[in-house]
Structure 1
């Protein structure tokens, strides 16, 4: 089977989309699939490179920071030449229903459906139709493009696509997968890690794993850093040794990042916790287990998450995770059994839950986190993710061949 994957982002970018693509490509390669990835180049050159998972073709035409509409026509012509040369069995897109470049997404879909009508076009949507600062109509339009199949990463995400008028029969729910060999408890290395990041081992640390800034350098409001910070300021006085750790990220707009950082620092100073917040350096995908290992608890109070990769990662690391009962969180976390859910995004509720977790007997907490890891093994492993996405591709290819014979 020959598959072309298309995405606006790809490693070394560190988001959930990129992580799932890397996992999927490795699994497909092991099963004999010929993979070709079309993704962004950060400079002005198109590059072709052979990698361990297949061909990697980077083009500036898929760079998110480029003007969208002017790039669409050139992208359509370029894509036509690539597809005509490779002749794939499947075109598999990752998160093109998110409005990174709507004109280019439409150009991609138009090119495939008009010029290569016999090739199934799959969209793996890592969103729940709730992009920040983008219109509902725009997102609906991308969801309604003539995809042959759409993958949603949770039942919640599927429900949001159905609300936009997409038939549930076209949507396949496939949960994201965690590499359990990578994300595993690291108790023996924690002391050394704390020392590496100049963190006092006598203090207690809550990890906020979702970066406070977007790739464009803006404050990532929906991830809930402000909520976590306010909860820290409201936590029981007995836990005033609790500190909040968050990874930073470079992004592609340094000026906006500096402005956002100043805004964040002013906010933490205003609520009186600036001395208890540490912005750590950027963590690559391979380094993410290190981030979780630094923490005593994981606080991830984002809302309306399509999946919430950080929940499952924390569970795999056997770290107690606290989230908001919103989006896909209840599909991943069972309250008081594999983690903790607060009913709504409230700093007081979060502070109360943090206090409750900190007061739990260690034996009870260890039993809960062990159960959480077993849940990830059962439902959210990278192996299951690879199996189910490959099964979908085989199904779509069989259906296409049957209809053409």
Structure 2
């Protein structure tokens, strides 16, 4: 093992907490491991898991100062980092969303912790890479100070994100786009989830899947960004037009332990009274990432009409599963979804627009076949291997610099 192949990935969350960005980190870590790199992950703590852990041959360092709403003393963070760096000669520190402090109650505090990690890496002559998955500017003070750090390279997951960095006044030496990639093998010839597949026996039509959480666990409210309300309104319009050959499937965390969750579920109940879909909607428990391909295999349409998506991993997964993807016309998805060719793009503020697209998909099987075929071809361009070939080229360039 050569010392110049030691990489530290810094991520807000890691396995077993996996969202879109976290899946990218996991796939990246696995690829680097298989390619002979000494790879480790610095991430936030998880109740019940060891501080120094490993998963799938990947070293994991779980620390409280990651994704924290508290500004930790710099010397405490440094002491932790010195122990980590003593184990291997790290050459590159690769931050995922390092420019976006995720601490929900005090983003400025989270930014200070990340800045300390950055400064420690610089002091130890590491190259520093920022991998920007988010583009929203929720806290100008906290995000500005992190964006303006002297990153050796900023990787943007889409041209949409890159343009936002430019608009924000980014001064990075190297600002480039590397699209996200998925493990295509996980979506080929997958056995459908039997519990969902049984729903087909109860309807003469198609299953529409909303794979995002309806209720935000952090906000304790209906998730606005994923725009579930628009989908409810569009489905209601279909029923009003006499189109009944569908069932909407959505994920709902049924835990009543948290007061925020109970409150959000009451709000959801009120919404379902307004948008009364009757037996045309079914809620299922949280689906773990490893089980999501089975869900895709069981349904026909995956619809997430988000208010914005910086990339939209779900749509690539949908295409790789041979299903019909419906996204909104904002952000990253417009860079690879061609409306009516390999998927559909809708106005995130128009229930009429979405209901018209759903009507087409529910009634035109010839169109569906074309969409699925072209979607499969598109998905092949977004593999983990394609993504990591570009990232490895960045590593090589940085390590060759004096």
* CA positional deviation for 1:110: 3.2
Distance in 2 of aligned mates of 1:70 and 1:191: 44
* CA positional deviation for 1:284: 1.1
Larger deviation: 230-239 or 156-165?
230-239
Distance in 2 of aligned mates of 1:249 and 1:32: 39
What pairs up with 1:237-316 in 2 under 5 angstroms? 237-249=241-253, 254-273=258-277, 275-316=279-320
Aligned CA distance change for structure 1 residues 247 and 88 (closer, same or farther; 3 Å):
same
Post-superposition CA distance 1:121-162 (Å, at most 9, x none): 1111111124xxx33443333322332211110001110111
Distance in 1 of aligned mates of 2:133 and 2:257: 23
Q: Does structure 1 residue 349 correspond to structure 2 residue 356?
A: no
* CA positional deviation for 1:71: 6.8
What pairs up with 1:217-256 in 2 under 5 angstroms? 217-235=220-238, 237-249=241-253, 254-256=258-260
Q: What is the RMSD computed on CA atoms of the aligned residues?
A: 2.6
Post-superposition CA distance 1:61-93 (Å, at most 9, x none): 32x4x5422476633432243224433011111
**Alignment partner, residue 11 of structure 2:** 7
Post-superposition CA distance 1:301-335 (Å, at most 9, x none): 00221101111111111111111111111112111
Among candidates 106, 109, 125, match of residue 112 of structure 2: 106
Distance in 2 of aligned mates of 1:334 and 1:171: 26
**Alignment partner, residue 97 of structure 1:** 99
Stretches of structure 1 lacking an aligned partner (at least 5 in a row): none
**Alignment partner, residue 320 of structure 1:** 324
* CA positional deviation for 1:113: 2.7
Distance in 2 of aligned mates of 1:120 and 1:201: 56
Larger deviation: 38-47 or 330-339?
38-47
* CA positional deviation for 1:15: 0.3
SS of the residue corresponding to residue 106 of structure 1 reads: helix
**Alignment partner, residue 174 of structure 1:** 178
Residues matched between the structures, number: 391
Among candidates 120, 127, 134, match of residue 134 of structure 2: 127
Q: Does structure 1 residue 155 correspond to structure 2 residue 159?
A: yes
Q: Is the 8 A contact 1:45 1:60 kept in 2?
A: no
Among candidates 40, 46, 51, match of residue 44 of structure 2: 40
Aligned CA distance change for structure 1 residues 37 and 191 (closer, same or farther; 3 Å):
closer
**Alignment partner, residue 70 of structure 2:** 68
SS of the residue corresponding to residue 109 of structure 1 reads: helix
Q: Is the 8 A contact 1:215 1:252 kept in 2?
A: no
* CA positional deviation for 1:252: 12
TM score, norm. by length of structure 1: 0.88
Stretches of structure 2 lacking an aligned partner (at least 5 in a row): none
Distance in 2 of aligned mates of 1:348 and 1:258: 31
SS of the residue corresponding to residue 28 of structure 1 reads: helix
Q: Does structure 1 residue 78 correspond to structure 2 residue 80?
A: yes
**Alignment partner, residue 125 of structure 2:** 118
* CA positional deviation for 1:274: 5.2
